[in-house]
Amino acid sequence: MTSLLLVCAANLCRSPMAEAVLQARAAALGLRVVASAGVWASPRGQAADKRAQQVLSQRGYGLDRRWRSRRVCTDDFDQHDLMLAMDHDVLRGLQAIRPARSSARLGLFLHGMTGLGRDEVPDPYYGTVEGFQRVLDLIEARVQAWPDTTALERYFPVR
């Protein structure tokens, strides 16, 4: 089973939303651990954006009340088999801090998805609640098309 870390910029919107959706389906998808972090998250943990919490709740998902944002650390590269970035900038940020000895696979969350017209999950932070709904649509589409655990290496090769 796979340990998955979902990564966005500040760990306030996209990655916690993806964490909530994937945690709801973790066992069925062969995921042992699902967590999230941000490459540029504040060192002081914050609650997820209220709009993210609102759209998650409207669709029947939720985050633990004690959930707080956190920054990616070097230990994450040892603790997680797969680290998926929400966009190219975040992926470059992960690659920049990755220890040389790490065998964790890095990739884009939407890698391998067809028909979406994009390979990045846009950051909804400076927009409206509708942007958060669109982000949740993308996350749910990715989870619906989640690769079988035997195909994870093909979908998300080591970068």
Q: Looking at the annotation, which residues are catalytic?
A: 8, 14, 123
Quick one: CA torsion of 110, 114, 117, 119, rounded to 10 degrees? 20
CB burial string 2-21: b at 16+ within 10 A, e below: bbbbbbbbbbbbbbbbbbbb
Q: Which two tokens stand for residue 142?
A: 């990715």
- The helix (run of H) or strand (run of E) holding residue 95 is helix 88-97
Closest CA relative to residue 73, chosen from 50, 47, 48, 94: 94
- The helix (run of H) or strand (run of E) holding residue 5 is strand 2-8
Phi, psi torsion values for 147, nearest 5 degrees: -70, 150
CB 70 within 8 A of CB 11: yes
